[in-house]
Amino acid sequence: MGTVAETDAQTAEAPSRVGAIVRALTERIDRGQMRPGERLPSIRSAFSAFGVSRNTLVEAYERLAASGRIEARPGSGFYVLGTPRPAPAVPTRPAVVEAVDSVWLLREQLEQHYDVRVGDGRPPPSWMEGSEVGRYLKPINRPGSRPFPASYGSPFGFPLLREAIAALLTERAIAGDPAQVLMTQGANHALDLIIRTLVEPDDAVLVDSPGYYPLFGKLRLAKARMIGVPRTPEGPDVETLERAIVESGAKLFFTQSLAHNPTGCSLTPAIAFRVLQVAARHDVVIVESDPFADILPAARPRLAALDQLERVIYVGTLAKTLSASLRCGYVVAAPRLIERLGALKMVTSVNSSGYVERIVHDLITSGQYRRHLKRLRWRVDAATAAAQATLGRLGLPMFGPPGGGFYLWCELPEGLDDAALSRAAAKRGILLAPGAVFHPQGGAHQAGAHQGGAHRPAMRINVAYADDPRFERFMGEHLPGAAAW
């Protein structure tokens, strides 16, 4: 029987092996060596023939299915569809024309039109669905399965899961009582509840810039005035933050401290202390998102840990580290605010899913979630090293040191239009995430922004996809002065 390290390595093969299998089978299908309707080798026989792990084969087949070359027939296997016809694909991709805005980027992450997904916000499905969670995602009527909850349950969430979340918070030095935990349908649901409760039309609200673009859409719906606070590799620019508070009267600041989306960098202890000083001085409430908490060291500097939820509202989720399809997140805050958020949750959505919350509780308390997290950390570390190597070959500097999440922020040469680059990539089936999407209102209302709201061209890199040779070849063709690839 192999060691844990050997098992982890086998379940987290280098992404380049997946790409090699995809390229080999793609070439055979496109050349007609495998005909439409032909059955591909089974996973069991194929992973032996290719000399890779089962998970690697599963991911390769998933990519081929996403490209339209093969299809999965439940209970039968995978079958060749043939070479995808490119002509109909163009009209279904608004990205080719609109590969610059936040609605487009969010839609493309959900609809999955692109073969090369460097701009995606999520890891490959096999990183998540191949874990222990898979055994829970079966018909609920199977013999011995847990009964489906017969009633709505508590609107604040499954009580035992709230207790488990509170225990995890204690590991992060956040002294949250289970009564201060409100379960939600993911972090975006949590942010929506907070905005509906605390933001009035025309309120000034501070956000990271670059920052989390779905948050910007919610604040636009609330008719708030967004003010971007420049993000540095060490965290928010504190001087600009305080100046923006004084000038605008803002009382709310949304930020992500660790493995920041999109820059990938993390807050330093010194900056964390100064941010809380500014917030206390001007009576500002901070909403701190921590989506990668479960794969990051518990001792990392978190505003909620330093502040102990006095003026910090803490938002967590399992979407980034377990499954984006299991919509399960939470808000941790002072008891009075949790009561208000819980009441709004009841009015707007009645409740979150008690069934999903029971699954998550089982995964956490059984120890299976921690085993999954160990493998996920291995994958992130390996993919980050590969992504850094790719950017190094392209001569592209990173914004700052990686913080342990899925993203890197890559600044592009001055004068290069990141929106135009994204459109050109879209025509080649490559999803890029241009930097302009991650600035509130495209650069308007930016505290300390360059004249005219301009920002240096950049793009967010998802480390899981950055080693794809098609991405590297495309960038080599479009970077000024780069060698031909």
Last residue of a domain, one of 366, 385, 413: 366
Q: Report d(CA 472, CA 476) in Å as an integer.
A: 6
Residue 328 reports pLDDT greater than 80: yes
Average pLDDT over residues 204-213: 96
Q: Are 263 and 241 in contact (CB under 8 A)?
A: no
Confidence category of residue 6, pLDDT binned at 50, 70, 90:
very low
377 closest CA partner among 1, 53, 5:
5
Containing structural domain, residue 307: 159-366
Q: pLDDT tens digits for 354-405?
A: 888 888 998 898 888 999 999 999 999 999 999 999 999 999 999 999 999 9
Q: What does the pLDDT read at residue 323?
A: 80
Write phi, then psi, for 156 (nearest 5 degrees): -85, -5
Report the pLDDT value the prediction gives residue 5, as an integer from 0 to 100. Answer: 39
Name the pLDDT band for 58 (thresholds 50, 70, 90).
Answer: confident
- 361 plus 399 within the same structural domain: no
270 vs 264: CA distance, rounded Å? 18
Q: Which percentage of the chain shows pLDDT scores above 70?
A: 79
Q: What is the DSSP letter of 41?
A: P
| Domain count within the chain | 3
CATH number at residue 262: 3.40.640.10
- In DSSP notation, 327-343 reads --EEEE--HHHHHHHHH
Instruction: Find the range with the poorest average confidence among 133-137, 251-255, 443-447.
Output: 443-447
Please check whether residue 392 lies inside any domain of the structure: yes
Q: Does the pLDDT value for residue 445 go beyond 50?
A: no
Angle between helices 54-66 and 15-30 (to 10 degrees): 50
Q: Which of 60-69, 169-178, 256-265 has the lowest mean pLDDT?
A: 60-69
**What CATH number is attached to the domain comprising 440?**
3.90.1150.10
- CATH number, domain of 25, equals 1.10.10.10
Instruction: Give dist(CA 430, CA 424) in Å, integer.
Output: 9
Residue 357 sits in the same domain as residue 387: no
Query: Domain boundary residue among 366, 388, 418?
Result: 366
Burial class of residue 366 in the structure, from the number of CB atoms within 10 Å of its CB (0-12 exposed, 13-18 middle, 19+ buried): exposed
- Say yes or no: 289 and 430 in one domain: no
In a domain, 208, yes or no: yes
What does the pLDDT look like over 256-277, one tens digit per residue? 999 999 999 999 999 999 999 9
